[in-house]
Structure 1
Amino acid sequence: MSTTLISPTNSGASGDTPTRKTASAFSAGQLVASIPGALRKLDPRTMWRNPVMFVVEIGAALTTVLAIAQPFVGDASTSTASPTSLAFIWAIAVWLWLTVVFANMAEAVAEGRGKAQAKSLRESRTSTMANVVDGYDPKTDAAALRSTMVQRASAELTLGDIVVVTAGESIPGDGDIVWGIASVDESAITGESAPVVRESGGDRSAVTGGTRVLSDRIVVQITSKPGETFVDRMIALVEGASRQKTPNEIALNILLASLTIIFVVVVLIINPIASYSNATQSVPVLVALLVCLIPTTIGALLSAIGIAGMDRLVQHNVLAMSGRAVEAAGDVTTLLLDKTGTITYGNRRAAEFAPVSGVSLERLARAAATSSLSDPTPEGKSVLDLAHELGFTIPTEVTGEVVPFTAQTRMSGVDYADGSQVRKGAGSQVAAWTGVTDVKIQHELDAIVTRISEAGGTPLVVAERTAEGTASVLGVIYLKDVVKTGLAERFADLRRMGIRTVMITGDNPLTAKAIAAEAGVDDFLAEATPEDKMELIKKEQQGGNLVAMTGDGTNDAPALAQADVGVAMNTGTSAAKEAGNMVDLDSDPTKLIDIVAIGKQLLITRGSLTTFSIANDVAKYFAIIPAMFVASYPGLAALNFMQLHSPASAILSAVVFNALIIIVLIPLALRGVKYRASSVSKILSRNLWIYGVGGLIAPFIGIKIIDLVISLIPGF
């Protein structure tokens, strides 16, 4: 039989692959859209969850009542520039309310972005009719199966139901394929338009409700209850409805609440003590002092920082089951990485043509490439790619008979129309096919094969036979697990962060050592079993390390559950996704490195803004305290080195700055402080210089500018 062989080409659809749209870190439109939500959050039943801002709201309400009552009480100061004047009290009340609203806006903007993403997910969740089969038997043929189907709404499906889904139909619920193979469109979940293959009996058997079957037919066993599907959980999580505060966030909230209580007590005892020197203050001034004393900046932004951290993961197509997982990612000290698909591409690629003596590189490359024209495997395509990279012209069409690879022959190749032949395959089989007895050539070939094998590669020997029957060995193709580009640099960054990387592989120790050295990982575990992974994780945790790992199979589930951060692949089994505390919708194992960076960015953002908040409170003291007591203690005028216009202007300027700085910092809280791989000491030093010193300087500049503006207002 004569067949025309055509070189395979990359015939994928042109154009960009559409992905799910993600919200920008901050925009004026988001700010405006958040106003209704911010006003709804003024409900005390909501505000009490944030003790710092709850105290500010009480102060705002109290000051408002005093402003309303002041004309009726009749003790307002005749000087409109006095801290007891009606204009001053109303100004303080308005800016205190704005402080609370601005704080609520930070959280509302963060939640609003999650709700926008949830809306698109909700649109993907459809209520469809399912073909339910009672008493499913895998041996039942299609005709008999159809006769036993019962139509039932997807919302009525229960755990364990068996449904049949054919091309063009939506999968009615989360489940595992128990029979069949099909192409599935998961763009509603992952944002990627390229279909994926799902099949029974492996680690790619899990399917998600709401996705659509594009070809063939599959039988799915439902693994979720109504309202508890993967999409339902995604919607709840990205909306923030099920977001629980992390241990560190709770601890910081307790610290802020404690500081607030302390300052409330301090402010309450000021007047009794000051009465001995006739330096008592009005209630609005004391409220203003309290608001400037307590850490309002970080109190206002803390919740938004946590929500934005989970949102950044969602924008990377990673679903975190809890804020604790995101935070733990930032504290990870050991990273377990599968070799295949994570460190290497997973498919072996041709890396080198090694000709024997007397054979040119071009002759070997042409023979290897020609024999690969009909090879549809990634390895075969990589041989063609390597030949093109080396600059050799390979014919795209050859007339001959294809000789496919079989387990018996362990070779493949082409028998040309002119009677010549070419083969590539295992060394012993090709040697037997050629019948070459040249000892020198055999020794040279053995040396090349040994070198490639010891480097962890796979040798494919190439030989040809002329039409006259003369056979000769041309050389060897070096197939290797190619380490992904740029990984060595990323692992070096992780090392600077104090994170140890461990490669896990089923390869023999020799191959594992070679790949680990090329990739730049710190250690490796060869010939690993699921039990070995578990033991390694427990050993690391017993040594005080936090461990992160990825997995997709049922056999990975115990290790994913044991790890502090377990990232399950969306293509994996339901057991793996249930065991992990994160799910990567793109099923990209290398994303684990990005997850760690996002976790660290969350921790650094929280720490940086806390530093800034405490530092800028110090500057506000210099503005408000001299203004309060300068009349009774003239010596305090020396502290008024900013030369603020008047006591009323100084106090109001501090309150205004306290409110405006929240709005200024919302974009940073949502976007996150830029993370750079570095040691802890360098990160801390940079944090103190930028946000500590910056937090001290910014209020002095801001309060002075605001004071200059207020001084232009008649009466101030």
Structure 2
Amino acid sequence: MNSTIYIDSTLEAIKRFNPKCLIRSPILFSIWVAAVLSSLQSIVGSQLVGASISWQLTGWLWLTLFFANIAETLAEGRGKARADSLKSGHEGLTACRVQNIADRCGEMCAASALRAGDIVLVKAGETIPADGEVIQGIASVNEAAITGESAPVIRESGTDRSGVTGGTTVMSDEVYVKITQDPGAGTLNRMIGLVEGARRQKTPNELALNTLLVGLTLIFLLVVMSLPLFLSYSHAHVPTIYLTALFITLIPTTIGGLLSAIGIAGMDRLIRLNVVAKSGRAVEAAGDIQTLLLDKTGTITYGNRIAERLISAPGVDRTLLAKAAILASLGDNTPEGKSLLKLAKTYGAVEQRQPDDEVIEFSAQTRLSGLNRALIQYRKGAVDAILAHAKLKKEDLPQILTESVEQISKQGGTPLLISQQEQILGVVHLKDVIKEGIRERFEAMRKLGIRTVMVTGDNPLTAAAIAAEAGVDDFVAEATPEKKLEYIRAEQAKGNLVAMCGDGANDAPALAQADVGMAMNEGTQAAKEAGNLIDLDSNPTKLLDVVKVGKQLLITRGSLTTFSIANDVAKYFAILPALFVTAYPQLSILNVMHLSSPESAILSAIIFNALIIIGLIPLALKGVNINHSVTGLLRRNLLVFGGGGLIVPFIGIKLIDLVIHAAGLA
């Protein structure tokens, strides 16, 4: 972070000394009350406490409040620069509002005047004024202002890639966009609100933790208030300012000061992934996910199948098969068709399109492509499509081709047939390419107790083979929207939290049903409305990273809570014997630290209490490393944060005591 962020964060932390800002956090408000009381006591003075000790304690109480405030302002400051950049790019935008898609004139108005349901015409070079859906036309859109990716993307009406985001720029052609969000409710506004932390609502987990912290604070308040009653039996007196400082050292100030920073930093990590959350609940739920549904195409595999080998029918020369494959693929501009052309050339086959050739382009309806040359028909396509074209049955295939088709399916590939007239020349093996490192990512998810499920439209044999290669725990083959929804409900009925991603209108029911539904920004408005997360990069693999961010958020909060509570227990047994050994000499057996004096004990404790917040800010902002199994995480947290929380105060307070004694401060 640059110096400007540090300066701004410092000034903002001082502004938050206002009790109106602190009242929402009982821990920070308690520190403020203690600091105010300590200041008044220092001004009035006391015969039992020297002015030097009194003002030192007061100063460190105010510093404790400042350090707790700056933890939150630093977390917010990390996103402020990006928020300012996003705001500046959206200010002063105008739009051409039209009555319908036949209207080319319309009226110019400010983007802020647009409402959901309005239709705008956006031409090349113009900025899309607000979130919406393309209802007419196709255009190339630059989304660098939102995603950071300079390569333009295609947005087209009537497809699953019709959604557009306010602040992006149309690079070519023109489109009619139906606005879907009122001012202040769009993706850009959500993003600005998240990075600033202004709209971050406390999650149920955070509210529950706050309740726990309030309970602990009340317990320690009762403990400290009861101490004068016990001391009165020995006719001993402890200055009120000591009891005030003791109260602050005992309550969970560490986690109280870092709690908001942890939440904001978690949202910041999500924004850095270019994912916008509709609420903090979605991120928190992602941390508790037990079942993760992932589409095969584009998530587990690259989506572009590659031709791997050609298998000839008996009596068919391999070169003849390769030539027929080239001719049948001249009308196939898909990545699969291009890969087959490349493969066929490795067999020495060379064919060029001739003027009289009739090219049959590939279509999803016919599931085949081909070429007619001098009354000879060459075709390539799905097994059943080619058999139907050749007027053959599956039983008519030579045994070697039947076995090859079955073997390819079992291996997770896709078999295609090549035909010349009514003769089947051979089989093409199309292979789904698994993304590098995806198996390791699934293994990492498994260690965290997350079960991965692949969703695909492939047949069960193909799905099983790809699932085994990718390393997922389960798969849903021949998936339909109803089948996805049924699977999610079945998992939830078992008590599992489910996450999934999607982009089409047919994914909307499942996205709405899932506990964490991540919609693709390029997808339909129905999908984006149904989901509670929006991936601006439209990368389905991102769901794995979102789950990791949610898990890291929860683990970080739990780890620092464990450390803070362990700190309080340690400080209780470290300070009380030193502070009250004069009144109760029997406590000397517990005074294992042998602090220099009661004054040094309470001052050392209050200094340690303030410095430990500063020491843990980097960890709160970065997050705890979670590359361990669930059991490993629990063991490490108990050892490092539980055990460390008990040991660190003894070491820290003793070292500070030695410095105070050597400097003659107490």
- TM, length-normalised to structure 1: 0.84
Give the direction of change, closer, same or farther, for the CA distance of 1:631–1:203 in structure 2 (3 Å limit): same
What is the aligned counterpart of 1:698 among 648, 651, 654? 648
Work out which of the residue numbers 52, 62, 67 in structure 2 matches 1:97. Answer: 62
**Pair 1:485–1:715, CA change in 2 (3 A):** closer
- Cα 1:461–1:318 change in 2 (3 A) is same
Query: Following superposition of structure 1 onto structure 2, how do residues 212-361 of structure 1 map, counting pairs within 5 Å?
Result: 212-355=169-312
Greater displacement, 247-256 / 363-372: 363-372
**Equivalent residue runs for 1:202-601 within 5 Å:** 202-355=159-312, 376-383=333-340, 392=346, 404-406=359-361, 410-412=368-370, 424-425=380-381, 442-453=398-409, 455-461=411-417, 475-601=426-552
Select 1:50's aligned residue among 9, 17, 25: 25
Deviation digits for residues 569-626 of structure 1 (CA, Å, limit 9, x no counterpart): 1011122112211111111112111111111111110111011111122332243212
1:371 CA drift (Å): 7.4
Whether 2:103 is the aligned partner of 1:152: answer no
Secondary structure at 2:429 match in 1: strand
How many pairs does the alignment contain?
660
**CA deviation vs aligned residue, 1:24-83 (integer Å, no higher than 9, x gap):** xx677644431111111111011111111211111111111111221xxxx535xxxxxx
Alpha-carbon deviation of 1:473? 7.6
- What is the identity, as a one-letter code, of the residue corresponding to 1:448? S
Aligned partners of 2:629 and 2:391: how far apart in 1?
60
CA contact (8 A) 1:550 1:566 kept: yes
CA-to-aligned-CA distance 1:631-669 (integer Å, 9 cap, x gap): 222333333333322222222111101100100100100
Check 1:411–1:206 CA distance in 2 against 1; reply closer, same or farther (3 A cut).
closer
- Tell me if the contact between 1:237 and 1:321 (Cα under 8 Å) persists in the aligned partners: no
CA distance 1:707–1:370, change in 2 (3 Å): farther
Q: CA deviation at 1:546?
A: 0.8
- SS in structure 2 opposite 1:319? strand
Gaps of 5+ in 1: 1-25, 78-83, 466-470
Alignment-mate amino acid for residue 271 of structure 2: V
Which letter maps to 1:561?
A
The alpha-carbon deviation at position 671 of structure 1 amounts to 0.5
Letter in 1 for 2:31: V
With 647-656 and 120-129 compared, the bigger mean Cα shift is at: 120-129
Give the letter aligned to residue 458 of structure 2: D
User: 87-96 or 552-561, which moves further after superposition?
Assistant: 552-561
Q: Does 1:712 align with 2:644?
A: no
1:76 to 44, 47, 53: 47
Give the deviation of 1:559 after TM superposition: 1.9
Counterpart residue type for residue 212 of structure 2: L
Distance 1:234 1:428 in 2: 48
CA distance in 1, matches of 2:139, 2:540: 23
Query: What are the ranges of 5 or more consecutive residues in structure 2 without an aligned counterpart?
Result: none
The one-letter amino acid paired with 1:483 is I
Deviations 1:406-430 (A, max 9, x none): 36894446989xxx99875566998
Residues 375-428 of structure 1: CA distance to partner in whole angstroms, max 9, x if unpaired?
53211333366679xxx5989996856763336894446989xxx998755669
- Shifted more, 664-673 versus 425-434: the winner is 425-434
Return the alpha-carbon distance in structure 1 between the equivalents of residues 382 and 457 of structure 2: 22
CA–CA separation in structure 2 for the residues paired with 1:455 and 1:493: 25
For 1:580 and 1:690, the matched residues in 2 are separated by 37
Q: Which segment drifts farther, 371-380 or 45-54?
A: 371-380
Determine the C-alpha separation between the residues in 1 that align with 2:2 and 2:371.
Answer: 60
Q: Is the 8 A contact 2:319 2:348 kept in 1?
A: no
Q: 1:446 to 1:616 in 2, by over 3 A?
A: same
Q: Give TM-score scaled by structure 2 length.
A: 0.90
Q: CA RMSD in A?
A: 3.3
The residue aligned with 1:183 is: 140
Give the equivalent residue in structure 2 for 1:123. 88
- Cα 1:385/1:485, change in 2 over 3 Å: farther
Letter in 1 for 2:68: A
Name the counterpart of 1:41: 16
How much has 1:347 moved relative to structure 2?
2.6
Equivalent residues of 1:335, 1:500 under 8 A apart = yes
The 1-side partners of 2:66 and 2:163 are apart by: 45
Superposition deviation, residue 461 in structure 1: 4.2
Of 33-42 and 398-407, the range deviating more from structure 2: 398-407
Whether the aligned pair in 2 keeps the contact of 1:127 and 1:172 (CA below 8 Å) is no
Task: Report the CA distance shift for 1:118/1:395 in structure 2 as closer, same or farther (over 3 A).
Answer: farther
In the aligned structure 1, how far is the partner of 2:598 from the partner of 2:350? 87
Distance in 2 of aligned mates of 1:472 and 1:203: 39
Query: 1:411 touches 1:429 (CA, 8 Å); kept in 2?
Result: no
- On the 8 A contact 1:570/1:577 being kept in 2, the answer is yes
Go from structure 1 to structure 2 and tell me whether the alpha carbon gap of 1:552 and 1:421 turns closer, same or farther (over 3 Å shift).
closer
Cα distance in 1 for residues equivalent to 2:347 and 2:657? 76
